[in-house]
Amino acid sequence: MYIGVDCGTQSTKVVVLDVEGECILGEASRPHRLIEGENGRREQRPGDWVEALRGAFAEAVARAGIDSRAIRAIGVSGQQHGMVALDGRGEPVHPAKLWCDTETAAWNAGLVARLGGEAGCLDKLGLVLQTGYTASKIAWLRDTHPDAYHRIDSLLLPHDYLNFWLTGERVTEAGDASGTGYFDTRSRRWRHDVLAEVAPELDAERVLPRLIDAQERAGIVRPEVARALGLAEDVLVASGGGDNMLGAIGTGNIRPGLVTLSLGTSGTVCAHSPEPVVADSAMVANFCSSSGGWLPLVCTMNVTSATTRVRELFGLDLAGFGERLAGAPIGAEGVTVLPFFNGERVPMLPEATASFLGLTSVNTTQANLCRAVAEGATFGMRYGLELLGGLAEGASQIRLIGGGANSPVWRQMVADITGTQVICPEITDAAALGAALQAAWCHRREQGVTLEQLCARLVHLDERSLADPEPASVAAYQGVYARYREALAERHAVAC
């Protein structure tokens, strides 16, 4: 038995994977609190992730009906980029600043300039720093909370922190390290000189976690944690990785030709590449994958975070939201939403706000507003696919994951807006499955088991979720997407 954990923005999910039975035996999740403030502050307490993991773990194992001592290894996936700065006792010096925190936008712009602009970033890091990456959060802490900054003894990411809690080891791997902004994604090495630019007082050798390969173990579960979780003494913890890297594994996206699209709190589109990628746009992130290659990716900050805001405004549950989506026509009778409630990473508008456009006394209905916010979030994904260009063009199918993929209307919307067939894996939290697969790979690789074999056996697609683009809807969306791009151009000067 193997455990996969996914510490997302809104919740931590745990799955129990039975490799011999080729199935998921149990799943559970626990929500997280988000600390939001003025100026784009978005933070969480790392201790809450541990509590969520413990609660979801106990429930998933109970649902699976297994003896927890049969668990052989655990893999952990986590939201990317979060700054988890620990003191010498392993306690956070400040709450974790998340990937979607835009309070640090000015620090990011300053760092890009100091590194020599986009060209300098590409030269040093293999990608261009974007608001949300870890580096600008450290620079922000240095300027605004010097006492906390001077207590930093380790700089981890969310999944590294959970691995640290499980094993006591401070390690990371290239996929998640790619999103720090002080890691060269082409050579898969830390850039101590770039960290020195961000945080000159910190000793990079000391504060940065040791890099391991994706198939290596982070360590063994500590005895006190093993007792608390009811585990045997020798349970392995795999390297784990960023949620997008493990979502790629959980959708079988470990070779070129597939696109994974996630409708989570964020929206992401990514494709696998055997080589580092030099994209035409600075908005395409040349991340490493957690399966040995690269994972060029575009991320938007407002997907289910935006739909949830509108859904809750109207007091709707998920079923009610689904009914409203289905109850409005394509194009929401002229309503256009630029859903940038949290600011936006792609297009690069960290300080933007959301806009509802084209409202009249006739079309201002719950159904149209719900539909328009989901369409706006999905147009952001189409924009991302256009930026990926040739990296995604060969893909005949989109593997759709994340919470939004549970909605049949939204699945059809993705197919019609992208003009590409959509299918979901049986489990929409593919990052948790990817983490469990990586755990099995780590545990069995000495017996010659490969990740390719595990994906082939255990990534099951749900044929009932298949959505083919409908020609009339694809045609209708051309005009609606053009309207969205015009609104982007008018309000934010983003070229059509």
Residues that bind ligand 5SP (CB under 6 A): 8-9, 79-81, 99, 132, 179, 242-244, 264-266, 268, 299
**Residue 380 contact among ligand ADP, ligand 5SP, none, beta carbon within 5 to 8 Å by kind:** none
- Nearest-Å Rg of the Cα atoms of the chain is 21
User: Could you tell me where the DSSP H helices lie in 361-450?
Assistant: 366-388, 390-393, 408-418, 430-444
Exposure class string for 180-201: b at 16+ Cβ within 10 A, else e: bbbbbbbebebbeebbebbbee
Residue labelled with tokens 């990473």: 345
Residue 78 binds ligand ADP (CB under 6 A): no
DSSP for 446-495, please give it: GGT--HHHHHHHH--EEEEEEEPPPHHHHHHHHHHHHHHHHHHHHHH---
When binding is defined by CB under 6 A, the residue of 11, 215, 421, 473 that contacts ligand ADP is 11
Q: Helix 366-388 and helix 471-492: axis angle, to 10°?
A: 90
When binding is defined by CB under 6 A, the residue of 300, 308, 368, 418 that contacts ligand ADP is 308
Active site residue 18: no
Q: Is 421 annotated as a binding residue?
A: no
Enclosing H/E stretch for 322: helix 318-327
Spot the catalytic one: 101, 160, 243, 416.
Answer: 243
Q: Is 32 annotated as a binding residue?
A: no
- By beta-carbon proximity to ligand ADP, the closer residue of 9 and 163 is 9
**Residue 185 contact among ligand ADP, ligand 5SP, none, beta carbon within 5 to 8 Å by kind:** none
Residue 265 binds ligand ADP (CB under 6 A): yes
**Residue 342 contact among ligand ADP, ligand 5SP, none, beta carbon within 5 to 8 Å by kind:** none
Strands of the sheet with 267-271, listed across from one edge: 285-288, 294-300, 267-271, 259-263, 397-401, 421-425, 461-467
CA gap 97, 380 in Å, rounded: 24
Query: Least CB distance from residue 435 to ligand ADP, whole Å?
Result: 12
Query: Least CB distance from residue 158 to ligand 5SP, whole Å?
Result: 9
Both tokens of 336, joined, read 């256009």
**Residue 403 contact among ligand ADP, ligand 5SP, none, beta carbon within 5 to 8 Å by kind:** ligand ADP
Cis peptide before 469 (omega within 30 of 0): no
Closest listed residue to residue 128, CA positions, set 202, 56, 181, 207: 181
Query: Least CB distance from residue 98 to ligand 5SP, whole Å?
Result: 8
CA gap 79, 142 in Å, rounded: 23
**Residue 273 contact among ligand ADP, ligand 5SP, none, beta carbon within 5 to 8 Å by kind:** none
CA gap 321, 337 in Å, rounded: 16
Residue 473 binds ligand ADP (CB under 6 A): no
Residue 9 binds ligand ADP (CB under 6 A): yes
Query: Least CB distance from residue 308 to ligand ADP, whole Å?
Result: 4
CA dihedral over 204, 205, 209, 212, signed as positive or negative: positive
Residue 425 and residue 462 in contact, taking contact as beta carbons nearer than 8 Å = yes
Residue 318 binds ligand ADP (CB under 6 A): yes
Query: Least CB distance from residue 315 to ligand 5SP, whole Å?
Result: 24
When binding is defined by CB under 6 A, the residue of 304, 336, 368, 418 that contacts ligand ADP is 304
Query: Least CB distance from residue 25 to ligand ADP, whole Å?
Result: 20
In this structure, which long-range contacts are made by residues 363-369, counting pairs with CB atoms below 8 Å and at least 24 apart in sequence? 363/332, 363/333, 363/334, 363/335, 364/335, 365/328, 365/333, 366/314, 366/316, 366/324, 367/324, 367/325, 367/327, 367/328, 367/332, 368/328, 368/332, 368/333, 368/335, 369/310, 369/314, 369/332, 369/335, 369/337
**Residue 75 contact among ligand 5SP, ligand ADP, none, beta carbon within 5 to 8 Å by kind:** none
Residue 215 binds ligand ADP (CB under 6 A): no
- By beta-carbon proximity to ligand 5SP, the closer residue of 95 and 331 is 95
Interface of this chain with ligand ADP, residues 374 to 433, rule: CB under 6 A: 402-404, 406-407
CA gap 350, 132 in Å, rounded: 9
Report which residue's Cβ sits closest to ligand 5SP.
264
Residue 465 binds ligand ADP (CB under 6 A): no
Query: Least CB distance from residue 423 to ligand 5SP, whole Å?
Result: 19
- By beta-carbon proximity to ligand ADP, the closer residue of 131 and 407 is 407
**Residue 11 contact among ligand ADP, ligand 5SP, none, beta carbon within 5 to 8 Å by kind:** ligand ADP
Binding-site residue ranges for substrate: 80-81
Supply the residues annotated as catalytic: 243
Binding-site residue ranges: 80-81
Residues near ligand ADP (CB under 6 A): 8-11, 264-265, 304, 307-308, 318, 321-322, 402-404, 406-407
